[in-house]
């Protein structure tokens, strides 16, 4: 480390949190001025707004015409648990986990639902589970982008076209930033506060015709809470997929989701969103390449996330530290950059190896990342000097 001089310019937007993520460029609370507050979500204008979110999301994502999309309670967790509780139990399950969220779904499947014919296919932080082991005759539950390790599945080639099981995918940090092969995905879930920078609270569930068929033919052996019920009398409640939500949504959040969709449409749709996130990843990769103290946590470049970018420290000095001392370094970097108003919420996830996590989804401007890199060098050098002084 040659210098501790503070860099001269700062990111315009210091929000690099992995959720809730940065609002879109140009966002202000004024975009909510026209929100349908104080009115029923079941009124004509209320339903029209909910339906607009459904239709415009499906269009932007390029969903096949026979796929359904619904707004459901309790964010991505609510949407994914709705899927697990409603669909599982009909056949054996392959549950994939290579970081904290995947591990959470495994604990739902085994610990809460008590299902026994479950093969857990795991890998450690930085690695990806052996996708080749997935059996197309079984249901598979997986996370497209592991937000806490920055490891994503590289593609959908490992999913058989003629599978008989369902593919149930937690896609929350992937959707709108990564190309998802819809013909390979039977259920996808996400929330608004990730790539689109929307407000938290609501989840979205996408169902293929095969998933809809399972919902109508399979009756789970456990009780089903009202907020998970997508069927009535063995038939899908189609109105839910037209905007008649199961319970009351926030029309402020709905307005904000519409604002995000409008922004995405204006800048060029899904390809533009993916392009922004990939450009962000490329700029980080370029800085990592020329920076000796840092490296991606994801071992295989093909699995590097373009949204939740997780970085480890690879300096020999850092390797010699105790575990507690190692954890103190990214914590200090986060605090230094927070105090400078340069970057917020960039410490890695608590269960992940000590490191940094920088959101690089579509709402983040590449110029802000470029302005952040000298600050990361500065903060690392400062933290290192401080720690060396007390050692």
Ligand X SMILES: Cc1ncc(COP(=O)(O)O)c(C=O)c1O
CB 87 within 8 A of CB 214: yes
Residue with smaller CB distance to ligand X, 17 or 291 = 17
Structural contact between residues 15 and 21, judged by C-beta atoms closer than 8 angstroms: yes
- Residue 108, sorted as left (phi over 0), alpha (psi -120 to 50) or beta, turns out to be alpha
Residue 103 or 267 having the CB closest to ligand X: 103
Does the protein bind ligand X through residue 306 (CB under 6 A)? no
Window contacting ligand X (CB under 6 A); options: 109-117, 130-138, 157-165, 167-175: 167-175
Interatomic CA distance for residues 363 and 199, integer angstroms: 13
Whole-number Å distance between alpha carbons of 311 and 348 = 8
147 forms part of the interface with ligand X (CB under 6 A): yes
191 binds ligand X, rule: CB under 6 A:
yes
Residues 145, 173 contacting (CB under 8 angstroms): yes
45, containing H or E segment: helix 44-61
Q: Which of 13, 57, 86, 143 binds ligand X (CB under 6 A)?
A: 143
CB 203 to ligand X: min, Å: 7
Which region among 40-48, 166-174, 272-280, 376-384 touches ligand X (by CB under 6 A)? Answer: 166-174
Q: Which is nearer to ligand X, 153 or 321 (CB)?
A: 153
Q: Which member of 16, 27, 85, 101 binds ligand X (CB under 6 A)? A: 101
19 contributes a contact to ligand X by CB under 6 A: yes
Does position 283 interact with ligand X (CB under 6 A)? The reply is no
Binding characters for ligand X, 42-81, by CB under 6 A (x = yes) = ---------------------------------xxx----
Which range touches ligand X (CB under 6 A), out of 26-34, 59-67, 170-178, 279-287? 170-178
Q: DSSP string spanning 235-298? A: EE-GGGGGT--SSPPPHHHHHHHHHHHHHHHHHTHHHHHHHHHHHHHHHHHHHHHT-TTEEES-
Structure tokens at 207: 């169902």
Choice between 94 and 170, CB closer to ligand X: 170
Comparing CA positions, the residue from 85, 95, 88 lying closest to residue 130 is: 95
Angle between helices 269-289 and 366-390 (to 10 degrees): 30
Residue 305 touching ligand X (CB under 6 A): no
In the complex with ligand X, the residue whose CB is nearer, 17 or 382, is: 17
Of the pair 147, 167, the CB lying nearest ligand X is at 147
Of 288, 259, 193, 230, which Cα lies nearest the Cα of 49? 259
Determine if 363 is a binding residue for ligand X (CB under 6 A). no
* Partners of 294 in the β-ladder: 313
> What are the residues binding ligand X (CB under 6 A)?
19, 75-77, 101, 143, 147, 170, 172-173, 191
């Amino acid at each position: 480390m040659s210098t501790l001089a503070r860099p001269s310019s700062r990111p315009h937007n210091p929000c690099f949190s992995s959720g809730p993520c940065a609002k879109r460029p140009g966002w202000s609370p004024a975009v909510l001025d026209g929100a349908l507050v104080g009115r029923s979500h079941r009124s004509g204008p209320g339903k029209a707004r909910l339906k607009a979110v459904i239709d415009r999301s499906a269009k932007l994502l390029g969903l096949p015409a026979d796929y359904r999309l619904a707004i459901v309670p309790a964010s991505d967790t609510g949407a994914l648990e709705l899927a697990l509780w409603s669909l599982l139990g009909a056949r054996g399950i392959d549950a994939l986990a290579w970081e904290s969220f995947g591990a959470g779904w495994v604990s739902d499947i085994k610990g809460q639902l008590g299902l026994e014919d479950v093969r857990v296919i795991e890998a450690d932080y930085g690695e990806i589970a052996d996708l080749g082991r997935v059996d197309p005759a079984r249901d598979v539950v997986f996370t497209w982008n592991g937000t806490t390790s920055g490891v994503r599945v590289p593609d959908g080639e490992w999913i058989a076209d003629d599978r008989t099981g369902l593919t149930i995918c937690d896609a929350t940090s992937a959707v709108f930033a990564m190309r998802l092969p819809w013909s390979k995905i039977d259920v996808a879930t996400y929330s608004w506060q990730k790539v689109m920078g929307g407000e938290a609270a609501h989840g979205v569930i996408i169902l293929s015709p095969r998933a809809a068929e399972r919902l109508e033919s399979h009756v789970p052996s456990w009780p089903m809470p009202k907020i998970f019920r997508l069927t009535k009398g063995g038939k899908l409640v189609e109105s839910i997929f037209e905007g008649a939500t199961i319970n009351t949504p926030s029309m402020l959040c709905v307005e904000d989701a519409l604002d995000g969709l409008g922004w995405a449409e204006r800048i060029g749709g899904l390809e533009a969103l993916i392009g922004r996130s990939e450009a962000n990843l490329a700029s980080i990769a370029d800085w990592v390449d020329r920076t000796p103290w840092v490296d991606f946590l994801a071992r295989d470049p093909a699995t590097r996330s373009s949204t939740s970018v997780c970085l480890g420290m690879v300096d020999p000095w850092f390797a010699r530290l105790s575990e507690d001392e190692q954890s103190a370094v990214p914590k200090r970097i986060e605090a230094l950059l927070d105090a400078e108003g340069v970057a917020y919420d960039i410490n890695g996830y608590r269960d992940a190896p000590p490191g940094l996590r920088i959101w690089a989804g579509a709402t983040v401007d590449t110029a802000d990342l470029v302005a952040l890199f000298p600050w990361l060098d500065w903060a690392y050098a400062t933290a290192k000097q401080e720690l060396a002084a007390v050692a």
